[in-house]
Amino acid sequence: MTLADSQQIAPPEPPRYIVFWRRYRRNRAALLGLFLFVLVVLMALSAGLVDPEDPLRRAGPPLTPPFTSWETPLGTDQLGRDVLSGVFYGARISLMIGVVATLVAISIGVVIGALAGYFGGWVDDVLMRITEAFQTIPNFVLLLALVAIMGSKIEWITLAIGIVSWTAPARMVRAEFMSLRHREFVDAARNLGVSNTAIIFREILPNAMPPIVVYASVIMALSILMESALAFLSLGDPNYASWGNMIGQGRAVLRSAPYCSVIPGIAIILTVLSFSLLGEGLNDALNPRQKKT
Amino acid sequence: MTGSHPILELRNLQISLPKGADRPLALEGLDLTIEPGEIVCLVGESGSGKSLCAGAIMGLLPEPHVRVTGGEIRFMGEDLRGRSDSMMRKLRGADIAMIFQEPMTALNPQKTVGWQLDEVLRLHTDMNRAQRRARTLEMLERVHIPDPQSAYNAYPHQISGGQRQRVMIAMALSLSPKLIIADEPTTALDVTTQLQILKLIRELQQDEGAGILFITHDFGVVAEVANKVAVLCRGELVEAGTTDEVLNNPQHAYTRALIAAVPALTPPPVKAVNTLPVVLRGTGLKKTFAARGGLLSGRRKAVTAVSDLSFELHQGETLGVVGESGSGKTTVSRIVTRLLECDAGSVEVDGKDLLACSPRELRAMRKHIQMVFQDPMASLNPRKRVVDLIAQGPIVHGTDPALARENAKKLLELVELSPSAANRFPHEFSGGQRQRIGIARALALEPKVIVADEPVSALDVSVQAQVLKLLADLRERLNLSLLFVTHDLRVAAHLCDRVMVMQKGEVVEHGPTAEIFADPQHPYTQSLLSSIPGRDWTPPSRHTDAA
Amino acid sequence: MAVHMPPILIYALRRLLQAVPVVILIMITTFLLLKLAPGDTVDALVGDMGGADADFIARLRAEYGLDQPVLVQLWRYMVKLASFDFGWSFVYEQPVSTVLMERLGTTLLLMATSLSIAFTLGIVLGAIAARRAYSLTDNVISVLGLVFYATPSFFLSLMLILVFSVHLGWLPVGGIKTIAAFYTGWDHVWDVARHLIMPTAALSLIYLAFYLRLMRASVIEVADLDYVRTARAKGAKEGRLMIHHIMRNALLPVVTLLGLQFSTVLGGSIVVETIFTLPGLGQLAYQSVVQRDMNTLMGIIFLCSIIVVVVNFLTDLLYARLDSRIELV
């Protein structure tokens, strides 16, 4: 800044979402992630159009190889189920479980992390010991125990995945709150007479949102991986087509018909990859300071 | 052999910035010469390109984004441009050394001080271990570090900021370089430490006869050390000459404006305030940062930040709280606003003890005592529009939101910002403008007292002068009562009617500013005042009778 | 304190004390899970016997203390856990602790090998990628990291089996040793190693991606710091900068992850051990879920948690040694 321009104001910036998009699209990998993500969402939405009937029914002769029949373009498994519609319906289940479990995990994490980070002291001590205990129990073992106790219904599985995933976001939110709590704008709000609740939710939380959103994409990826692992071990909900379950079933015919596991496997990899790339893109776009220089 | 050559000669040096920067060239044709035994100050505000100049000489620019695109860099008569990386490495540390601004971060936290000093010798000499150790200890001694033996084995975080800067200097000088580049070496230091370091640099330089390129933004420091001065404005050299010429007879308008922005050390006349009503009274305030924990967490020593502080602030008066870091002055600003709970004492605002209030009463009381914060970047919530930031206080205290927003726009005018800026976000403003918004927010509640915590220390000199002027104007017009916390004695002299000088949590001296500056009683105040860089230099615009 | 102890010992003691509430909380969690589970020990016992009359069941309940208030039950349970008594497994007809100890070795071996490989390769590749940031090398390493990160461990395991066992026939499909071979000495070691190659690869490749990504980010961040610039201004070469100034500092967050990640890797071993039929804790966990053997499952949870606590403790000590800024006292 030089001498005379103190009263001059820089020309207005374009709206935030445009700035955000400009930053986001600079990262080509992130664009690929967005493309894959849209693709998976479209698959989930159009599953009913691709195959209006139950994906678990017999659709053709068992073990039809891919690209040999118009009825079942990606082939059938040993029970004659259509692999293509399995992949489409699987996208639905993976996304649904991923989204809901992430919401559960992030909500618990934000509440615990915000309280611990904002108040500090004994509140922090107590909440952090609990978080540490939860983090110490290997989360997949805990997930198995919860599923063993609550049963394999899809609602319970989703909830259980959320319950075993909240510790990492809680720690992150806590760290974020601890650093934001000492920023001067929080003192400024307190000095205006703003209440604690309003400070937590209206002053600090909006500023802590970018890392939370980025982290949500990580949780989302991990939730999808966990669900598929459960389904692979045939501990998932048997009433729904799931990628993990398809791979688990395909294991029996791995030697003769590897495509039964490979196709859903690629679907999982691309979906999880899309969330990772999306997360990195969001991170670059929301925290520009890291990549500026 | 090379006696006829100056140590450093920059001719028409050009550095380009990457696309998207505020200008295409960081430096446009800089000419500069440093002779042996000379200290040349390169002065400019932030963004003037002064630090990149240092990077260019060292060959340490963040290439390829920022690179030298034209001109010559002659060191001892030889052009450094186009030198291979390995040749530059031999020069760096041995013939050209550098001292950085932040002693906190400039040393590797995982290596001992001794190891890091030793590294220079290991890189450039054939000395054996014992010789290197002896040389390192000798250097530590030369930069006056008490107990060089234990400093040798200490990690950087175990010694103070001033000592770390001494270590940096020892590192830079250990091979007697011909050129030393000092990039704002004292900016991060307290005023008394700053003076010691400046003296040290001078002293060592006279022993060694090296040339020094001293980069700074502070004309006080220039007056203290420089032989020659070059002034940079947005990459352009606007003025160069001997220190005397530039400081006392500046030619270029920019230089004149910069110099005029340096607050003079002439305090305002003594104001008779004792008859006016007291608006803020602190009595017996104490704050100790307790040692936390016991078995479960590490034990720390308790630190007394403020011990038994009492003061009175009268209507329409500005009371300065001055001191160095660790003196407790910032703690004072936090306890009187009860942003920090204090251990004992009372703070009376408007006849009521703020510290005895229940949380609900406290929230209501807060409208009487408002605050202007240090960091204009951090003190405004980046997610809120300016109008909401200013109107937030009145809305919390029950004003109709529409009305509060209307008033907010008027306040923007009062702090000399266009009301059309009301719907912008804070990051769209410059530092000085943001501080104006902060002031408007404090004024919105029409408080009885405003506590200002280092409100101008994060700003460039010229912007600082404008904000100070605004504060002074507002004070006259609105009859404000200010508690003004600052480390900068020039600023205190400029604005405060009375000052309290704090050291280690205690007030060592207080009284009218004019009296204290003219005749300090306490030795600490004396040393503070005698450490102000350039205290003997009076900027030309304020000469009453020309020499 | 009057007793003079080396600071690192005091630090270690303090960390141990901090772990106590965590262990207690884990005990309470397993107790609650056990209570939530349908059926208790007596139900299992009665089921095992093939049924009994109500009177006998009530007497059994009293004998097992199941008629006591919940807090008393909790206390007894915690005392038992503290002495590593996890109750009786009605599936294996053995004390749970005996079953667990038989299988602990396999899991620890798998953990140790795959974590060391993942950690070492991860930091080396991460450092290489960071030093050549945005080059072809970096892109290849980063893409591979992302893909492995996105690959479910069971899928990777199946693909390894498909390639190395089914198609190439190089490696055994599962188990910890060749059952009928009765190898001894070095033959035995080699046999076990051959069986462990694929499970280790499957686990380490996935967790390698974590370390790789963190190390890359960490090195890039540290390389920008002031003290690296200082070292450069001293005339240090890139190699020296990397080893003494960058890596030394960039390693710290990665070491922290080593402890945090351990519990995830332990969870991941369930799937891998099940696929490769390795007789470890992970496979046991899966079997106990399928067979509803709650005592064994809770035993596994507790034992695994204790292992994680111990590993975290060790990484804390390592960290304290590595980071000079940690005040030990």
Q: Looking at residue C296, which CATH number applies to its domain?
A: 1.10.3720.10
C159 and C191 assigned to the same domain:
yes
C42 and C169 assigned to the same domain:
no
List C-alpha distances in Å: B143 to A193, B104, B136, C212: 50, 18, 11, 43
CB contact under 8 A, B58 and C233: yes
pLDDT at residue C328, as a whole number: 57
The tens digit of pLDDT for each residue in A14-44 reads 777 888 888 888 888 888 989 999 999 998 8
Question: What are the residues facing B41 on neighbouring strands?
Answer: B214, B229
All residues at 6 or more sequence positions from A138 whose CB lies less than 8 Å from its CB, including other chains: C263, C264, C266, C267, C301, C304, C305, C308
Q: Give dist(CA A277, CA A270) in Å, integer.
A: 10
Chain A residues with CB inside 8 Å of B428's CB? Answer: 9-10, 12-13
- Which stretch of B161-165, B538-542, C116-120, C169-173 has the lowest confidence by average pLDDT? B538-542
Which chain C residue's Cα is nearest to B87?
C235
User: Which of C25, C292, C304 is closest, CB to CB, to A148?
Assistant: C292
User: Which of C240, C325, C329 is closest, CB to CB, to B298?
Assistant: C329
- Chain A nearest-CA distance from B133, in A, is 38
Question: Model confidence at A257, in pLDDT bands (50, 70, 90)?
Answer: confident
Chain A residues with CB inside 8 Å of B336's CB? Answer: none
User: Could you tell me the two tokens for C158?
Assistant: 């199946």
- Chain A nearest-CA distance from B281, in A, is 18
Mean pLDDT of B125-149: 90
Asked, for residue C38, whether it belongs to a domain, the answer is yes
For residue C187, give its domain range: 106-214+250-322
The tens digit of pLDDT for each residue in B338-367 reads 988 888 889 998 888 888 888 888 888 898
What DSSP letter does each residue of B158-171 carry, written as one string?
A: GS-HHHHHHHHHHH
- Chain C nearest-CA distance from A285, in A, is 16
On whether the CB atoms of residues C161 and C120 are closer than 8 A, the answer is no
CATH architecture of B1-95+177-260: 3-Layer(aba) Sandwich (3.40)
pLDDT(B545) > 50 = no
Specify the domain boundaries for CATH 3.40.50.300 within chain B.
1-95+177-260, 316-343+357-531
Q: Give dist(CA B237, CA B136) in Å, integer.
A: 39
Q: Does C230 touch chain B (CB under 8 A)?
A: yes
Asked, for residue C240, whether it belongs to a domain, the answer is no
For chain A, which chains pass the contact test of at least 3 CB pairs under 8 Å? B, C
Predicted model pTM: 0.84
Asked, for residue C148, whether it belongs to a domain, the answer is yes
CA atoms within 13 A on the CB side of A150: 20
Taking the CB of residue C185, how many other CB atoms lie within 10 A of it?
7
What superfamily in CATH does domain B316-343+357-531 come from? Answer: P-loop containing nucleotide triphosphate hydrolases (3.40.50.300)
C112 and C159 assigned to the same domain:
yes
Look at residues C42, C66, C96 and tell me which one is the last residue of a structural domain: C96
Look at residues C73, C96, C119 and tell me which one is the last residue of a structural domain: C96
Asked, for residue C242, whether it belongs to a domain, the answer is no
Q: Give dist(CA A211, CA A117) in Å, integer.
A: 15
C164 and C312 assigned to the same domain:
yes
Q: Give dist(CA B114, CA A45) in Å, integer.
A: 65
Mean pLDDT of B491-513: 90
User: Which of C21, C26, C158 is closest, CB to CB, to A251?
Assistant: C158
Q: Does B375 touch chain A (CB under 8 A)?
A: yes
C284 and C154 assigned to the same domain:
yes
Asked, for residue C124, whether it belongs to a domain, the answer is yes
Asked, for residue C221, whether it belongs to a domain, the answer is no
User: Which of A129, A244, A265 is closest, CB to CB, to C25?
Assistant: A129
> What sign results for the dihedral spanned by CA atoms C171, C175, C178, C183?
positive
What DSSP letter does each residue of C38-98 carry, written as one string?
A: SS-HHHHHHHHHT---HHHHHHHHHHTTTTS-HHHHHHHHHHHHHTT---EETTTTEEHHH
pLDDT one digit per residue (tens) for chain C, 329 residues: 445 667 778 888 888 888 888 899 999 988 888 888 877 777 777 776 777 788 878 887 777 777 778 888 888 888 888 888 888 887 888 888 888 888 898 899 999 999 999 999 999 999 999 988 788 888 899 888 889 989 998 999 999 988 888 888 888 887 777 777 777 778 888 888 888 889 999 999 888 988 998 999 899 889 888 899 899 888 888 888 888 899 889 998 888 888 878 888 888 889 999 999 888 899 999 988 888 888 888 889 899 999 999 998 888 888 888 888 776 54
Count the domains in chain C: 2
User: Which of B45, B65, B381 is closest, CB to CB, to A2?
Assistant: B45
C43 and C135 assigned to the same domain:
no
C190 and C307 assigned to the same domain:
yes
pLDDT at residue B1, as a whole number: 45
Q: Does C134 touch chain B (CB under 8 A)?
A: no
User: How much is the ipTM here?
Assistant: 0.85
C265 and C307 assigned to the same domain:
yes
Asked, for residue C199, whether it belongs to a domain, the answer is yes
User: Could you tell me the two tokens for B349?
Assistant: 């605002």
Residue B372, classed as helix, strand or coil, is: strand
C32 and C175 assigned to the same domain:
no
Mean pLDDT of B467-478: 90
Asked, for residue C1, whether it belongs to a domain, the answer is no
CB contact under 8 A, C263 and A229: no
Look at residues C77, C96, C115 and tell me which one is the last residue of a structural domain: C96
C81 and C163 assigned to the same domain:
no
C126 and C262 assigned to the same domain:
yes
C308 and C166 assigned to the same domain:
yes
Put simply, the chain B residues between 426 and 455 with a CB less than 8 A from any chain A CB are: 428-433, 438, 441, 445
Which of B252, B383, B397, B450 to probe the A interface (max A CBs under 10 A)?
B383
The whole-chain average pLDDT of chain B stands at: 87
Q: Give dist(CA A268, CA A262) in Å, integer.
A: 10
